[in-house]
Amino acid sequence: MHRLILSSLLVPLALVSSHGQEHHLAGLPKHLTPLPYAGIRNWHVTQNLGPTGARGWIYGHTTNTEESREILIKSIEPGSPADGILQPYDIIVGAAVPPETPASTWKTAPELKPFEADARLSLSRAITWAESDAGQGALKLLRCRDGQTETVTIPLPVLGTYSDTMPLDCPKSRRIVKNAAQFVAAQMPADGYGPGIGRPHNAGLLLATHDPKYLDYVRRSAIRMSELHTISDAGHETWRWGNTNTFLCEYYLATGDERVLPTIRGYAKALQDGQCNPGTWGHRAVPDFIPPGYGSLNSSGVVCFFSLALANQCGVHEADEAIEKSIGFYGSYAGRGSIPYGDHPPSYATTSNGKNGAVALAFNILGANPAAQWFARLCASSNLQNFEGGHSGNYFNQTWSPLGAQLSGDKNYINFWKRFHSYRDL
């Protein structure tokens, strides 16, 4: 029997199963019961639980939760599907989980039972089932509260079933993109998105839909970014320059709107002038091409490189010398491994926090196909731990790695997403 004692920092609570045995979070040693108290590793880390609106703590190490069998609910977004059904300190001990086979083969409703494998990934497959036509939007869970375990159902929107070729020729994938675009457009300021990292990506999503109704949103953002752009060697400017310039180049190539060309030229010149001698960039632009004490930072540098490759396609040649230097530096890793963190030997990670994906795109645009394919195939070979993890969160990894994988061909791209589509439903 496992004693369940919450830290005095938390509201006291005894969690006893309906069979009279005290409940615990599987995977935790007996002396760390029932939940990780303040001070234990990763106690503060919660995970999004898909479209439910709930967040929970799941036992694991970094991105590996394979030993988990339960999910501790930590918070609920007001008005979300889980509001009124789940509450903090509920424990999800099971779900109606379909088998680990393609979603198109799921015909019979899965049995509702305690988790028998990784609770997080099991929940993700339960969500995928609930969102399918056959699942009818009913996410069935086993909820333990105040010592009682009972069945609850969280209603979710029906999005359909993933096709065998998802995200290609997949109605559900198209619906997800459509919903995401509607959300991004609704959050956009009246005068458009400004420069930055995430904001240009939001505007880029709307541009990529090719939906005419978003053209004005995209145009407003492009003009605002052009008007607000500043060139300074202070702060972490290369992050903003590379991502903003990428969007402006994509916008120009899609629309031919010459109002943004002066800004693209400005960024191109600033990136060339601020490049380090090896063909890289640091957190910020550097004088006289000498790397700062911190050295190269390739997570920002590869996006700068990609944006200059796009600028070249726009007819902007102010940074052709910088492009040649970057080809020499980043291309030296092709055939040897992945793009490293900075001025280091090749990395062994298949995605390398998204750096391989961005470099694959740059080499593809520049016509360097062997190098592009090397990095694209590395992305396509990723496992979940490589794909999900990432320095400074996994935003960069999950932004650039799928784009890189797509360059390796439809078959590789489809197989790439077969490994991850349920995870993304979280």
pLDDT for 65 equals 85
Report the predicted TM-score, pTM, of the whole model to 2 decimal places.
0.87
pLDDT for 104 equals 80
**Fold (CATH) for 46-155:** Pdz3 Domain (2.30.42)
pLDDT tens per residue across span 130-154? 999 999 999 999 999 988 999 999 9
pLDDT for 100 equals 83
Reference 226, options 198, 210, 247; nearest CA is 247
Given a cut of 70, the residues of the chain with pLDDT beneath it are 1-43, 231-236, 291-293, 392-393
pLDDT for 214 equals 97
